[in-house]
Amino acid sequence: MAVGDIKTPHLPPVSGIRLSSVDAGIRYAGREDLVLIELSEGSSVAGCFTRNLYKAAPVIVSQKHLASAHTRYLLINSGNANACTGLQGMDDAYNSCKQVAELANVPIESVLPFSTGVIGMPMNMNAVEKGVPRAFENLSEENWESVAKAIMTTDTFAKMVTREIEIDGVKVRINGIAKGAGMIRPDMATMLAYVFTDAYVQKETLQNICSLATDKSFNRVTVDGDTSTNDSIILAATGKAEMPLIDSVESSQGQLLAKSVIDVFKELAQLLVRDGEGATKFVTIVVDNGADTDDCLKVAYSIAHSPLVKTAMFASDPNWGRLVAAIGRSGVEQLDVSNVRVWLDDLLIVEDAGVASGYREELGQQVFDQAEFTIRIDLGMGNCSETIWTCDLSHEYVSINADYRS
Amino acid sequence: MAVGDIKTPHLPPVSGIRLSSVDAGIRYAGREDLVLIELSEGSSVAGCFTRNLYKAAPVIVSQKHLASAHTRYLLINSGNANACTGLQGMDDAYNSCKQVAELANVPIESVLPFSTGVIGMPMNMNAVEKGVPRAFENLSEENWESVAKAIMTTDTFAKMVTREIEIDGVKVRINGIAKGAGMIRPDMATMLAYVFTDAYVQKETLQNICSLATDKSFNRVTVDGDTSTNDSIILAATGKAEMPLIDSVESSQGQLLAKSVIDVFKELAQLLVRDGEGATKFVTIVVDNGADTDDCLKVAYSIAHSPLVKTAMFASDPNWGRLVAAIGRSGVEQLDVSNVRVWLDDLLIVEDAGVASGYREELGQQVFDQAEFTIRIDLGMGNCSETIWTCDLSHEYVSINADYRS
Residue in B52, B60, B82, B84 to test binding to A, most A beta-carbons within 10 Å: B84
Q: What is the reported pLDDT for A183?
A: 57
Residue A404 Cα, gap to closest chain B Cα (Å): 9
Q: What's the CATH fold of domain A17-274? A: L-amino peptidase D-ALA esterase/amidase (3.60.70)
Q: What is the reported pLDDT for A354?
A: 86
Say if A83 is an interface residue toward chain B (CB within 8 Å): yes
- Class assignment of domain A282-403? alpha beta
pLDDT beyond 70 at B175:
yes
Q: What is the reported pLDDT for B396?
A: 85
Q: Pick the residue from chain B with its C-alpha nearest to A395.
A: B395
pLDDT beyond 80 at B204:
yes
Q: Pick the residue from chain B with its C-alpha nearest to A393.
A: B398
Partners of residue A405 in chain B, C-beta under 8 Å? 317, 319
Distance CA A205, CA A209 (A): 6
Nearest to B231 by CA among B27, B102, B58: B58
pLDDT beyond 70 at A1:
no
- Reported as a single tens digit per residue, the pLDDT across A246-266 is 999 999 999 999 999 999 999
Q: What is the reported pLDDT for A404?
A: 52
Partners of residue B317 in chain A, C-beta under 8 Å? 402, 405-406
Partners of residue A278 in chain B, C-beta under 8 Å? none
Which residues, numbered 198 to 237 in chain A, qualify as contacts with chain B under a Cβ-Cβ cut-off of 8 Å? 224-229
Say if A349 is an interface residue toward chain B (CB within 8 Å): no
Max CA distance (Å), chain B? 71
Distance CA A303, CA A325 (A): 9
Give the pairing of strands A159-167 and B232-237: unpaired
CB contact under 8 A, B229 and A51: no
CB contact under 8 A, A398 and B311: yes
Residue in B51, B53, B80, B309 to test binding to A, most A beta-carbons within 10 Å: B53
Confidence of residue B186 (pLDDT cuts 50, 70, 90): very low
Distance CA B371, CA A288 (A): 44
Indicate which residues of B carry an active-site annotation.
Answer: 190
Mean pLDDT, range A51-62, rounded to an integer: 90
- The radius of gyration of chain B from alpha carbons, rounded to an integer in Å, stands at 22
Which residues, numbered 136 to 175 in chain B, qualify as contacts with chain A under a Cβ-Cβ cut-off of 8 Å? none
- Reported as a single tens digit per residue, the pLDDT across A71-112 is 999 999 999 999 888 889 999 999 999 999 999 999 999 999
Q: What is the ipTM of this complex?
A: 0.78
Say if B355 is an interface residue toward chain A (CB within 8 Å): yes
Distances (CA, A) of B187 to A196, A348, A392, B54, B270: 47, 29, 25, 13, 15
CB contact under 8 A, A393 and B398: yes
pLDDT beyond 90 at B190:
no
Q: Pick the residue from chain B with its C-alpha nearest to A396.
A: B395
Q: What are phi and psi of B352, to 5 degrees?
A: 50, 40
Residue B303 Cα, gap to closest chain A Cα (Å): 10
> Is the C-alpha dihedral spanning B66, B69, B73, B79 positive or negative?
negative
Q: What is the reported pLDDT for B404?
A: 52
Domain boundaries, chain B: 17-274, 282-403
Partners of residue B154 in chain A, C-beta under 8 Å? none
Q: Which of A190, A205, A227, A238 is catalytic?
A: A190
Catalytic: A71?
Answer: no
- Reported as a single tens digit per residue, the pLDDT across A185-209 is 433 347 899 999 999 999 999 999 9
Distance CA A268, CA A257 (A): 17
Q: What is the reported pLDDT for A22?
A: 98
Q: How many angstroms from the chain centroid is the CA of residue B165? A: 22
> A63 pairs with which residues across the strands?
none
Of B54, B325, B397, the CB nearest to A325: B54
Q: Which residues contact B371 (CB under 8 A, 6 or more apart)?
A: B3, B4, B280, B281, B282
Say if B308 is an interface residue toward chain A (CB within 8 Å): yes
Give percent of chain B with pLDDT exceeding 70.
95
pTM: 0.84
Return the higher-pLDDT residue of A238 and A272: A238
The backbone region for A79, taken as left when phi is positive above 0, alpha when psi lies in -120 to 50, beta otherwise, is: left
Say if A90 is an interface residue toward chain B (CB within 8 Å): no
